[in-house]
Amino acid sequence: MKSLTLIAVLLLFTYIVPVTAQQPALDIERIQRATVFVMQVRNVEDNLFITCVSSGTLVSRDGLILTNAHSTQQSADCPGTELIIALNVRSGESPIAQYRAEIAQIDPGLDLALLRITREPDGRLVNRENLALPFVELADSSATRIDETITIVGYPGIADDPVTAVQGTITGFALEPRSTNSASWIKTSAVISGTMSGGGAYNTQGQLVGIPTTAPLRQGILNTNCIPIQDTNRDGIVTASDDCIAIGGFINALRPSNLARPLVRAASLGLDVEVMSLPTTTSSGNTPTISRLFFSPSVNEAGMPTTVISNLPSGSTSLYLFFDYANMSPETVYELRVTTDGRPNATFSLAPVRWSGGSSGLWYIGSSGQPWPNGVYEFTLFANGVAAPTQRLTIGGPPQITATMSDIVFGLLNLRGEPLGNGFVLPSGNTASAQFLYRNMSNGTNWTAIWYLDGNEVSRTPDVWSEGETGSASTSIQDPNGLRPGSYRLELYVENGLAATSDFTLAGAQQGVRPQIFSNARFTTAATPAEAAQSGAISTFSDSIPQLYALFDWQQIAPGTLWTLRWLVDGDVFYEQVSPWTMPESGQNFTAILSSPNRLPDGTYNVQMLVNNLLLASIEAKVGIGQLPIDRFARADGVLLRGQILDSNTRQGIPGVAFILISEDFSVSDFDWNQSKVYALAVTDQNGFFELERPLEYSTDDREIAYSAVIAADGYQPISADGIEVTTETENPLELIIYLSRD
C-alpha cells in the first residue's frame, strides 16, 4: 500500500516524548457513556409498561451492568419481568433504549445485581463478543478515605433528564458483620435522588468506588412520588388510575464496590454455583423485630463485641451498635436514625436500605477511625418502618472508672485451666469455658453469668466477685451428657447491668483443641450428583470441564448454625453465602456444583467452609493450565479516539470507511491485513463519524506505546501513519477530522 504521511490533524495527537506516568484525570464523559438507564417492564399483550426504573453502570465491554437488585428483580414493588437498557447515546440528551438484559448474578441482601445484555430491543440475540461498549473499572473501595472527593453519576428522573454527575465527599463509613476487610456502607455528603440508585460513585481516577443504594421507592413514603406515564389501564388517558413509577427519595449511602466484586467476577466468567441443600431465602411472614440494643467500642475477629459500654470518653473514634434481630429477610427495609443532642445527625445515620443479614442473629452497625464529637447520642433502628426502643449513649469527658468485663474467648480448658482453641467455634464435649478480662472490679460485687443455647437460657450462675480488681477470670458451662451442638451465648452481668457478651458455636468432633466439622472435602467431576458422590477426589483437571463438584462430609453441626460457603478462582472470591445449616447434624456428601454455560475457564479453584468467620476447611483444584485467561479488554481507561472522515472536495462525511488502528507491536509496513495485528477497528456512520471500539492505552516512561493507523476506502487515496502515542495529558476523548482525497 502506498504509505503517505497522515495529515496534520492526525499528527496533533502524536507525542514523540512520553511524559512521566501519572494518574489520568476523571474522564466524566466516558463514565457518563457507561452509565445506563435500567427500565424494568411488564409485558401485557405485547405492550411494554414500565414498572421500575434505576441507574446502572457498564462494568465490561461485552455488556455486564452493575445496578441494584431491588429495581430489577421481580417483586411486589417491581412486578415487571423484563429489563430494557437505555444508553446515554449523546451527551446532554435523554437515554435511548438499545438492548434487553437479564439478571446474571444477584444478591438481594446487598441489593446488588449484575445484568447481562442479551438481546436487541426487537428480541434478536446480541453477539456479546461483538459488543464494544464503554465501561468502568472497579476501585479498591477499602482504599477510600474520609473527605475524599467523589462524583456520583446516574439518571435523576424518568422524564427527559439526561445523565447527571453530582459531586460530594465521603463523610464516613458504616461497618457491619461479614465485611471485615471493607466497610458495608460509604456515607456521602452528596445529594443523590432516589432514581440514581444503582448508578456509580467515582474517585478522582474515574474508578467505581460505590453504588448509590436505597431501599425500594414506594409511593407515599421516603419522600417519594409516583408518576403515571403510560396508559396501563387502556382507558385512553393517562391518569392517576394508571400504574405509576415511584421516583424521588434520597440516598446518603453507597454500597462499596468491593462488595460487588464477587458478583462481577462470577458474571464475567459465567460461573454459577448451585448448592444442593441451601434453602431459598424467603420471608417468614412474621413481623421483623429488633431487640437487645447495646454499644461496644470495638469488635473482635469473630464479629463479637469486646465489651459493653454506656458512654465513651472524648476523642473516641470507634463505636458499634449491636442488636438481635429476627424474622428479617432481604425484602426488609431497615434504617438507623441518629440524633446528637436532639438534632438529626446525617453523618452517622443510615437512610433506608435493604437488609443483608439473613433471618435472625446478632448484628452490628458501627464506624471505626472516624471521630465522634461529644454529645448525647440517641440511636433508633427501624425495621419496615417500625422503630425499636431507642438506645442512648453519651460521648465526652474523661474515661470513667467503672467495673468492666471484656474480651471473652471460649475454649476447652487445659491443665492450668486456660481455654484452648480458636475462641469461637468449639468441638462437642462436656464443658465449654469462657475466659474474660476484668477491670475496676471490687470483691463482694454481685455478678452473674448466663448461658443460652439457640436463644434459650440453659444456665445461670449468680455469684459474688472475689477475684480482685483487675485480671482475667473464667466461667464454664457443663453437661455430663455432653453439650448439644448449636449456637451458644454468654452474657456477663455486673450488678444487673450487661457488662460483656459473646456468641460461639459448638459443633464437630474434637480433634486436638479444634473442632472437626467438615471432613473428606474433595473436588470431582461427574454427570450427576449421585455419580459425583461415588467418584474419587480429583485435584487436577487437565481439560476444561463443564461442571466441578465440591463434596464434603460433616458431623455434629446443629440445624440453624450459621456457616459460610465460599468459592474462589485464582484467589478472588466469586461466591460467598452465609446461611443457616439445614441438613441433619451429621452426614456425607454435601454437594455444591460449579457450572458454566460453556466450559469452566481455566483456573485454580478453591472452596472454603467457615463458621463464625473462622476457616475450618479448604480444598483446591486446578482446571486446565490452572490460571484464568488474560482478558485483553480488561482496561477501561485510556483515550477514546473518535472523529469524522470527510471527502476533501465536498466536505461531506463519507459513510462506511474503515479506520484501522494497528497494535503497538507493528508498524504500517508490518501490517499484512491480519486481524491479529489490529488493535481496534471502526467504520464510519452515515455522516462519516467513527469511534474506536477500544480506548488507546497511555504511553509512559515505563512503557512506550506507539500505534499505527490505516484509513483506506475505494475511490480515495489511502493514508497511514506510525508512531501514534497518547499520554495522560492528551485530550480525552480525542476528536479527529480526517480528509480523504479522491484517486
Partner 1 sequence: MTFIELGSGSPDLSYRQRASHVIALAFAVFALVIGYNLRNTGLFSTTRYENVEAGIRAEYPRNWLFDNQGDYVFRVRNMTRVGFKTTIQVELRPVGAAGSTRSILDAISLERFQSLAAYQVINVDASTPLADDIESVTMAYTYADTDRDPFLQSIPTVVRGVDILAVRGGQVVIITFLADATTFESDYAFFERFLSGLEFR
Give the range of 155-163, 399-407, 572-580, 653-661 binding partner 1 by CB under 8 A.
Answer: 653-661
Of residues 181, 220, 676, 702, which one binds partner 1 by CB under 8 A?
676
Closest distance between partner 1 and the C-beta of residue 330, in Å? Answer: 33
Identify any residues that bridge with 642 across adjacent strands, giving them in sequence order.
Answer: 691, 735
Q: Which of 682, 705, 706, 724 binds partner 1 (CB under 8 A)?
A: 682
CB of 642 to partner 1, least distance (A): 8
Contact status: 3 vs partner 1 (CB under 8 A): no
Minimum CB distance to partner 1 smaller for 29 or for 231: 29
Q: Pairing mode, if any, of strands 185-193 and 164-174?
A: antiparallel
How far is it, in rounded angstroms, from Cα 164 to Cα 711?
Answer: 36
Residue 605: closest CA among 680, 523, 669, 512: 523
Least distance from C-beta 231 to partner 1, angstroms? Answer: 28
Nearer to partner 1, 165 or 681 (CB): 681
The nearer residue to partner 1, 396 or 718, going by C-beta atoms, is: 718
Least distance (Å) from partner 1 to the CB of residue 542?
Answer: 20
Nearest-5° angle of CA 204, CA 67, CA 728? Answer: 25
CA separation for the pair 117, 698 (Å, rounded): 29
Task: Output the smallest distance, CB 264 to partner 1, in A.
Answer: 22
List the one residue from 17, 76, 125, 159 that touches partner 1 (CB under 8 A): 125
Other Cβ atoms less than 10 A from the Cβ of 700: the count is 16
Site string for partner 1, 655-674 (x = CB under 8 A): xxxx-x------------xx
Number of chain residues interacting with partner 1 (CB under 8 A)? 44
* The one among 20, 127, 181, 280 contacting partner 1 by CB under 8 A: 127
Q: Which of 233, 314, 390, 687 binds partner 1 (CB under 8 A)?
A: 687
Question: Interaction with partner 1 in 48-107: which residues (CB under 8 A)?
Answer: 87, 89-90, 96, 98
Note whether 690 binds partner 1 by CB under 8 A.
yes
Comparison of 560 and 718: residue with beta carbon closer to partner 1: 718
> Which residue is listed with cell 457478651?
501
357-389 burial code (b ≥16 CB/10 A, e <16) = bbbbbbbbbbbeebebebbebbbbbbbbeeebe
Backbone angles phi and psi of 267, in degrees to 5: -70, -40
Q: Which residue has the cell 409511593?
A: 219
Task: Look at residue 266 and give its three-state secondary structure.
Answer: helix
**Over the Cα atoms of the chain, what is R_g?**
30
- Closest approach, Cβ 180 to partner 1, in A, equals 41
Residue from 308, 298, 309 nearest 369 by CA: 298
CB closer to partner 1, 571 vs 715: 715
Determine which residue in the list 145, 675, 702, 743 makes contact with partner 1, applying CB under 8 A.
675
User: Which among 565, 657, 655 has a CA at the least distance from the CA of 619?
Assistant: 565
Among 278, 326, 498, 678, interactor with partner 1 by CB under 8 A: 678
Residue (617 or 658) nearer to partner 1, CB: 658
Cα 462 to Cα 609: distance, rounded to the nearest angstrom: 38
Under 8 Å between Cβ of 564 and 610: yes
Q: What residues contact residue 35 under an 8 Å CB cut-off, 6+ apart?
A: 55, 56, 57, 58, 88, 153, 154, 155, 163, 199, 200
Per-residue binding letters, 714-743, with partner 1 (x by CB under 8 A): xx--x-------------------------
Do 305 and 320 touch, CB atoms closer than 8 A? yes
Query: Contact region for partner 1 (CB under 8 A) — 169-177, 351-359, 511-519, 685-693?
Result: 685-693
Question: Which window, 180-188, 303-311, 466-474, 654-662, contacts partner 1 (CB under 8 A)?
Answer: 654-662
Among 15, 250, 689, 739, binds partner 1 (CB under 8 A): 689
- Which residue, 622, 605, 730, is CA-closest to 24? 730
Q: How many CB atoms lie under 10 A from the CB of residue 463?
A: 11
Cis peptide before 733 (omega within 30 of 0): yes
- Which of 584, 681, 719, 535 has its CA nearest to residue 132? 681
Place of cell 455434629: 556
Closest approach of partner 1 to the CB of residue 663, in Å:
13
Residue 19 touches partner 1, criterion: CB under 8 A = no
E strands present in 194-271:
200-202, 208-212, 224-228, 244-248, 250-256
- The answer to whether 492 and 405 have CB atoms below 8 angstroms apart is yes
CB of 11 to partner 1, least distance (A): 23
Binding window for partner 1 (CB under 8 A); candidates: 535-543, 562-570, 624-632, 649-657: 649-657
End-to-end CA distance of the chain: 14
Residue closer to partner 1 (CB basis): 285 or 715: 715
For 220, the grid coordinates are: 407515599
Q: Which of residues 154-173 bind partner 1 (CB under 8 A)?
A: none
Q: How far is the CB of 718 from partner 1 (least distance, A)?
A: 8
Among 415, 686, 702, 743, binds partner 1 (CB under 8 A): 686
Nearest distance, CB of residue 720 and partner 1, angstroms = 13
In the complex, what is the shortest distance from the CB of residue 673 to partner 1, in angstroms, rounded to a whole number? Answer: 5
If the CB atoms of residues 383 and 682 are measured against partner 1, the closer one turns out to be 682
237 and 375 in contact (C-beta within 8 Å)? no
As a whole number of angstroms, the distance between CA 617 and CA 519 comes to: 8
CA within 13 Å, CB half, 564: 21
Query: Closest distance between partner 1 and the C-beta of residue 672, in Å?
Result: 8
- Window of 150-158, 231-239, 439-447, 686-694 that interacts with partner 1 by CB under 8 A: 686-694
Q: Which lies closer to partner 1 via its Cβ, residue 133 or residue 260?
A: 133
Residue in the block written with cell 435500567: 38
Nearer to partner 1, 343 or 632 (CB): 632
Q: Pick the piece of the chain touching partner 1 (CB under 8 A) from 188-196, 197-205, 217-225, 713-721.
A: 713-721
Residue 198 beta carbon to partner 1: minimum distance, rounded to whole angstroms: 20
Shorter beta-carbon distance to partner 1: residue 414 or 687: 687
Q: Give min distance, CB of 277 to partner 1, in A.
A: 37
Are 550 and 623 in contact, with CB atoms under 8 Å apart?
A: no
Contact criterion met (CB below 8 Å) for 144 and 209: yes
Residue numbers of the site for partner 1 (CB under 8 A)? 1, 33, 87, 89-90, 96, 98, 120, 122, 124-127, 129-133, 654-658, 660, 673-676, 678, 682-687, 689-691, 693, 712-715, 718
